[in-house]
Structure 1
Amino acid sequence: MSADTDLRRRGAWELGLVLMLALAGCSVFPNLPVEGPDGSIAVVLSSSGEYDFFGPGVVWVLDPVGNPAGEPFVPEEAQVVQVCDASLEGWLLLVVDTDEYGLPVASRLLEWSPGRAVREVFACPDLLFSPRYAGDKRVLFLRAEGESVALWGVDRETGEADRFESGVLAFRAAGDRTAVLSADGTFSWLGEGRLPVRIAVGNEREATFLFFSSVSLALDPAGRYLAISLDDEPAVVEPQAEPVPTLYLVDLEEGRVTRIATPAISPVFAPDGERVAFVAQALDRPVQGVFVCDLATREIAPVPGSEGALWVRWGKNGLLAAIEGDQPRLVRLVDGEAADLLSRQR
């Protein structure tokens, strides 16, 4: 297949965003840390140990207080890497090979841990999105197929891959079940019936969920609540106003939706499923920060020390966030303070 034919085969949403990031010297995917079973985290950092939301680099594993654990994973010159998930065996990495223009030409799923040999789980000539472990033996991921995207799974032991559904934008796992967002805006449990929620979709939202579902969609551990950040179109048409992201909480059992905050992004549920954290900006605050909503009472409270947060994650040892500045800081939010996790890297 010629290069021109291959380019025509890609969807406009994919090419536009990937080309924009490539020209800017950025990674294809957002860079978010992933917490392992022991509380350590894996994250992509620059060669000088700095964090960037889109910056390419190498994968470091840090213990809960930020000490490096072994040597990093270093991709080849024409590759970008994303940390996707963790298991007892190590970290799930998505490695994308790029051409001379920075466009993706092949993808590989790898399992890696410092001091151990890298193991290839799956490889293909297409762009992959959002790989996640599903149970003990399978990895689920999205695979670009021309103008559409399909949900696939691969057996970690045998390498056998299966195609489950086409026209998928995102998925989230809760226990043994997987919630799937289809291109028509409907949600369903994989292999089961449709869920009582549907969203309006279009080209921009398709790209948002494919590339940025990690900061726009979350499912609580029990599979009852779905948190979605969506750009709401402004009611004022003149002068022109920009769409503003609103965070919605959907109760899948009762079929109810609640608006949590505007503007708000990066929803993430607590490990106990009783609270949801997110990044928002209140009217009385000059910059955005992290807030926590109690699901039982719907009370919302700011997290001290989180001013300037870009995103938030919730792990076994509390909240992780990136704080914007001349150089973004990767921090753990504890007792009203932002403890820098990268001070030992510099």
Structure 2
Amino acid sequence: MKFVDEANIKVTAGDGGNGCVSFRREKFIPFGGPDGGDGGNGGSVWLVADEGLNTLVDFRHQRTFKAPRGQGGMGSQMYGKGGDDIEVRVPVGTVITNVDTDEVIGDLTANGMRLKVAQGGRGGLGNIHFKSSVHRAPRKMTPGTPGEVRELKLELRLLADVGLLGFPNAGKSTFIRAVSAATPRVADYPFTTLHPNLGVVRIGTDQSFVIADIPGLIEGAADGAGLGIQFLRHVSRTSLLLHVVDIAPIDGSDPVEQVQTIEQELAKFDEELVTRPRWLVINKADVFSDKDELNRVANDIVERLNWTQPWFLVSAAGGEGTWDVCMQVQQFFDAERAAARQRTEELDDVRMRGE
């Protein structure tokens, strides 16, 4: 299925039904008075997160969604039937933005989450509401109010724990194949990966994390070059970034310059991404037969980058060193969860002492 992570749709809620002007007419009761009922409320439009979906491709074919209007009021004080709400299923991780105001109105991050994106109109009042001691036969009613109409932008942001960064052909897809059951395309030409891939890495019982492989980035990605900003958003939710770099790029480019270029693109897209934990994975160690030369080149890259965070030397094609990376990543998340639990316990203790 074609991966689509952005779509624009139009949602229209149902109008409220009009109120009714009616008078009671029965034998021997010539002046029964007003009995016009209210109109029903219009249906609303809801977006519902569904974990069974992983793409917005369906919105390429259907872009408009309209809820039914409310039924008009009737005589004998009968109220009109309200219009049914409609639910539009979207993938978990969808961010909803109002196109007219550029305001983010919702972020559906869990299966089953619901967001009302268009409120149905209210039903109008029937003439029964306008009778009084001096106005016994009112011929007044109010029309239903119109339902909301909105142009929405849907943006899918993958929910992953770890994001892979790197230039095209750095070996990101090979890495994710080596550590998970994901099977992205691997080939010896740039931009083999055309859409994000998710893989689950299982370390042990109740120990696993989700890793996302996004298409390779190049200089100018934040401005739209290559596959550009279209996929940079997918690393915005990750807690840890693995920066994969080819130790000896086939085009003769400098691995250090590649790392620095991607750092600049991250800063252009979102400065917070640069401060996020980011580990260096120097890949394709198998191109060196001399271990001493391999270590010298790897250490030179690390020193020229002034790298202070963890770094690894791996051969994703042969699986060498990849499991050590995964074990370190799992330890990172275990420590994060333990720290979060400790903070929660400390807050609970403070609350109890305060009581």
Instruction: Tell me whether the two structures share a fold, i.e. TM-score over 0.5.
Output: no
Which structure dedicates a bigger proportion of its chain to strand?
1
Bigger RCO of structures 1 and 2 (CA < 8 A, at least 6 apart): 2
TM-score where L is the length of structure 2: 0.23
Q: If you compute each CA radius of gyration, which structure gives the higher value, 1 or 2?
A: 2
Which structure dedicates a bigger proportion of its chain to helix?
2
TM-score where L is the length of structure 1: 0.23
